[in-house]
Amino acid sequence: MRSVVPDYLIEALGDARADTSGALAAYIPELAAADPERLGAVFATVDGEVYGAGDIDTEFTIQSISKPFAYALALADRGFDAVLAKVGVEPSGEAFNQISLESDTGRPLNPMINAGAITAHSLAGSAEMTAAERVQRVVDGLSAFAGRQLTTDTAVCASELEHAHRNLAIAHMLRSHDILTEDPRTVVDGYTRQCSVLVTTRDLAMMAATLANRGINPVSGARVIHEPVVRQVLSVMSTCGMYDAAGDWATQVGIPAKSGVAGGLIGALPGQIGIATFSPRLDRHGNSVRGVSLFERFSSDMGLHVMEVPAAARAVVRSNHVVGAGRDAIRVLELQGGVGFSAAERIVREAVDTAPTEVGVALDLTMVYSIDDVGRRMLLEVVRRLTLDGHEVYLVDPETLVPDPDPGDGGRVTVVKTLEQEQNSSDR
């Protein structure tokens, strides 16, 4: 059988191809020379599967899609406080190259507009690095997200630098507020090199999938960035990634995203997939026309909007029954699925409502596939309170989802692999 997904992508691209509206980014002459008909789309799942259609191995410059990744590197290299002191996280609702800074502090509003991105570039790597080392740190960092060594397009870089008056103006303003501490020209040079990193649609999907996969590249398995940084970056992408179209995007597509003026567009759906599209003609916001319509379609066809309320998960308490009889009777709460706060709350409620009369109570995790920290703590508190009520509590945990369970003060628990194991041992 052929997979369904690539055929779906081919069909979506076929429909998108007809739209030839929009224009190439003319302010960077070298970009204006791009082939406007290029079109590609890739889905990369968090478990490393890659589906693509169209021009997925054509290289183009990453441009502003580098911004969330360079911001991630700055956060990793300098820490949150140092970065937040210099770049805010408020949506600006303005164009990407707007010359606007917070009036009192001179801080750029967020790291997705040029002012914030130029600042974030200056914060990647250590403070002691030379400008060239900093560029290398950024290129290597982006490469780790992509899972292969990336290079830069020197022609596009030179072309942009010749016309970089606006970014230079922004950088000089930043320098006057001491947000930048180095020579503004050097920083703009480094930032422009960062924007000139060559990627394919496949690379971009992998970079997005690394964010979707909590910072671990799904193919190389390398941890590129820690989870708190991922959460920060995805949050900023979702509020600021599409500039002055961020509100439309948030409501209609609802996937944390970032666009670039060479025609790339990425979306990262936490825990699910990284998506990338490539089509060079841009709308008035500087976002790829066909890219935006493809994302709208992907989101609605496949219910990818992050605010889509998931169908209530199957009840976490699969059954509540008694095994054995008389003094050996055990009340069993057979649990299933993933256990986070809301599932744990259901378990607590079930235990309270049942008010078991049996001495033995077993919490059976055999069908549970994951349990997070809050789920674990609440479960252990149920164990403790049941012990204090005079129960003998068992945890059926064949996969060791709760290693070394410690129910704390006054709590006691016996861990078994199966309930039969417990019953057999008490028979003897």
Query: Quick check: 339 and 371 in contact, CB under 8 A?
Result: yes
Q: Does 92 bind ligand GLN (CB under 6 A)?
A: no
Residues 6+ apart with CB under 8 A from 60: 34, 38, 198, 199, 200, 262, 263, 264, 278, 280
Q: Spot the catalytic one: 51, 67, 135, 187.
A: 67
Query: Which among 417, 407, 109 has a CA at the least distance from the CA of 240?
Result: 109
Among 208, 261, 333, 380, binds ligand GLN (CB under 6 A): 261
- Type of residue found at 422: E
Q: Is 64 in the site for ligand GLN (CB under 6 A)?
A: yes
Alpha carbon separation from 326 to 72, 311, 351, 404, 424 (Å, rounded)? 60, 40, 20, 30, 15
Computed on alpha carbons and rounded to an integer, the radius of gyration of the chain in Å comes to: 26
Residue 415 annotated among the catalytic residues of the structure: no
Cβ distance to ligand GLN smaller for residue 120 or 395: 120
Using left for φ > 0, alpha for ψ between -120 and 50, and beta otherwise, residue 308 falls in beta
| Residues 6 or more apart in contact with residue 329 via CB below 8 angstroms | 322, 323, 358, 359, 360
Write out the H or E segment, with its range, that includes residue 336.
Answer: strand 330-339
Output 184 or 405, the one with its CB closest to ligand GLN.
184
Name residues whose C-beta falls within 8 Å of residue 48's C-beta, 6 or more positions apart in sequence: 218, 219
Residue 51 labelled as part of a binding site: no
100 is catalytic: no
- What mask of x and - would describe binding to ligand GLN in positions 310 to 349, judged by CB under 6 A? ----------------------------------------
Judged by CB under 6 A, does residue 159 bind ligand GLN? no
Annotated catalytic, 67?
Answer: yes
Q: Which one is catalytic: 64, 143, 196, 288?
A: 64
Cβ 264 to ligand GLN, closest distance in Å?
8
The active-site residue, picked from 197, 230, 236, 261, is 261
- Asked if 285 and 244 touch (Cβ cutoff 8 Å), the reply is yes
Residues 218-247, interacting with ligand GLN (CB under 6 A): none
- Of 44 and 262, the one with the shorter C-beta distance to ligand GLN is 262
Binding test (CB under 6 A) with ligand GLN, winner from 167, 200, 210, 288: 167
Which one of 160, 358, 364, 397 is in contact with ligand GLN (CB under 6 A)?
Answer: 160
Length of the chain equals 428
Determine whether the annotation assigns residue 30 to a binding site.
no
Q: Does 97 bind ligand GLN (CB under 6 A)?
A: yes
Beta bridge partners of residue 44, listed in sequence order: 50, 274
Q: How far is CA 234 from CA 61, 96, 211, 239, in A?
A: 22, 18, 8, 9
Backbone angles phi, psi at 45, to 5 degrees: -80, 160
Asked if 116 and 102 touch (Cβ cutoff 8 Å), the reply is no
Q: How many whole angstroms separate alpha carbon 200 and alpha carbon 56?
A: 6
Judge whether 8 is annotated as a binding position: no
Q: Is 143 in the site for ligand GLN (CB under 6 A)?
A: no
Of 22, 125, 286, 375, the one binding ligand GLN by CB under 6 A: 286
Identity of the residue, 30 or 160, whose beta carbon is nearer to ligand GLN in the bound complex? 160
Q: Among 144, 195, 245, 250, indicate the residue that binds ligand GLN (CB under 6 A).
A: 195
Applying CB under 6 A, which of residues 22, 260, 360, 405 lies at the interface with ligand GLN? 260
Does the annotation count 8 as an active-site position?
A: no
Establish whether 309 is a catalytic residue. Answer: no
Pairwise CA distance, residues 331 & 314, whole Å = 21
Residue positions annotated with a catalytic role: 64, 67, 191, 243, 261
Detail the residues annotated as belonging to a binding site for substrate.
64, 114, 160, 167, 191, 243, 261
Detail the residues annotated as belonging to a binding site.
64, 114, 160, 167, 191, 243, 261
Question: Using CB under 6 A as the criterion, which residues of the chain lie in contact with ligand GLN when the complex forms?
Answer: 63-64, 96-97, 114, 160, 167, 195, 260-261, 286
